[in-house]
A and B are shown apart, each in its own frame.
Chain A
Amino acid sequence: MPGLLEIHNLSKSFDATKVINDFSMEVVEGTLCCLVGPNGAGKTTTMDLVTGRIKPTSGKVIFAGEDITAKHEHVIARAGIGRKFQVPAVLRDLTVRQNLEVAYSRQTNPFWNLFKFRKAGLKEKLDEIATLGGLSGRLNERAGILSHGETQWLEISMVLMQEPRLLLMDEPIAGMTEGEIEKTARIFKDLRKTATLIVVEHDMGFVREIADVVTVMHMGSLLATGTISEIEADARVRDVYLGEKEAA
């Protein structure tokens, strides 16, 4: 069975520096794949490439059997890829509710949306997600005033509102308390039933908890891939990334 997302020999250079170097990976539908690697390894850049934010120098990205390499961001998003950014990106001047409403993007055509005043199924979905993200009490707040952790939750909720087939989560738990981390882990594990996830995280405890597969990047290339225990046992990964203490 081919993967939902396949990355083939992807490379990306900025000026002279090669940031992604012949990187390939494959994510099977319904799994949760953790993408880890040292700072600057190219994880975020890989996400940029998958979501069309930047175009690769060479290589291909295939999603659900379709080549999406040269597509625009919104086309890729419509195809079913949702993304949470590393630096939380929410619509700061809109209220939390509006943020979620916009994210509920069933109809994206500007012309048809002119005549749409109420979105079917929005209310239930919004209530559900807001409760999940702990935002119910703040729905009418302007998103710009949320604290860092709350912003993280809002962005995760937005991705959930999108109901994408593939979720890319760039450091979703940065700045969360331990309790919240557990909750996030639960949510992610639940999501696996209906969607596929790629999660970038440095918190190995979290990775250990959720990952089906772990892929390690280093200097733009694939360093290792396997289950969490295989990875933690890998000397190279310990060397460049985990350090002795973490692995111990």
Chain B
Amino acid sequence: APLKKGEPIKVGLLFSLTGALAVPEEDSTLVLQYAFDEINKNGGVGGVPVEPVIVDAKSDFGVYSEKTKELILREKVTALFGCYTSASRKAILPTVMQRNHLLYYPTCYEGAECTQNTICTGPLANQHSQDLIPFMVEKFGKKVFFVGSNYVWPKESNKNAKIWLEKAGGELVGEEYIPLGSSEFGPVLGKIRDAKPDFIFSTVVGASDIAFHKQFKQEGFKVDSMPIASLTTGEIETRAMGAEFGAGHFLSAPYFQTLDNPTNQKFVENFLKSKYGKNGTTHYNMEETYLTAYVFKAGFEKAAAAVGFENVTPRAIRDNSGGIRVEDNISPEGLVWIDENNFNTWLKPKIGQCQADGTFKIVKAAAEHVKPDPYSIYPDAGTCTATGLKGPDGKLRTNVI
């Protein structure tokens, strides 16, 4: 439907508010509501307010798919913000692509996807561990044990990590995957005990991650001699497991609540004060989600300038979003920008160490922005461009998922 000047722009917020995925995704809904309130207060997008349509995907992929159709076909939203897991993203992408719509996907993921209908603000597998692995090897030793949840993202992340590991001269002494949602880490910890690594690299997610850290300590492992370097264990996780179980471990992420810059301080303070701050903390996933609102704003306005407000379509927004920057004064993690080819985000991963109070101390920040590369470990597949995946044979394939 053509947009009308003066009428609010509808966008869909597609996250789970109930069920197993509610823990991270409820925060995403909250922070987006906060972001759009903030944007509306400051004049809206292209001069009109944004109206978020909130739906509950109930942690059920069937519902994700159904709600996507409802938002696009019935609510006629201009863009979708949604999903936390790759599985839910894959569940809705056929619809999004078929309708040539636009999805803002706000969290870290494995890449290896080249669609013309998504914009992602989280780190890709190639960005995440680039600094973390060399840092850990240097500080604790060469031997590392990989533990992950048994699904795509950890496996892809580990493939990347292996590249960095090799570069840093490290040695992989074991690699284990735990069924999603499992809370029994006895066998894995047993294997770790035998392998005697210098540190553990973890891509365990969700409730399992909390169980992992708890049992790590309960089984008598010492954080000083064998810390866990994680891509997931952030502020909510450490709070849930209890700071005593999190303290001393490492996390690589583009954002930490304790980041010391004025934009972040303002963000944390205002957010927690607002009616959306009820869960009492900010964390990387939340901040990446927050950024999508501003990426959308910038993209929409650029598109409006190019084709005229009334003619802005999801396609037009996406076509105009390459290279969009979210500046230091808006982005709590500092300047980021959208890659013009693959529409992922250039960002600076940072390494934090969990403290006794559950907050993170930044121990290292990347000097340069890291380029997102969804096909970093599959160079043969080609390169992702704005119009599709360009294979080595020069053929262009669209909608590669």
* Complex contact flag A–B (Cβ < 8 Å): no
Binding site for B on A (CB under 8 A): none
Binding site for A on B (CB under 8 A): none
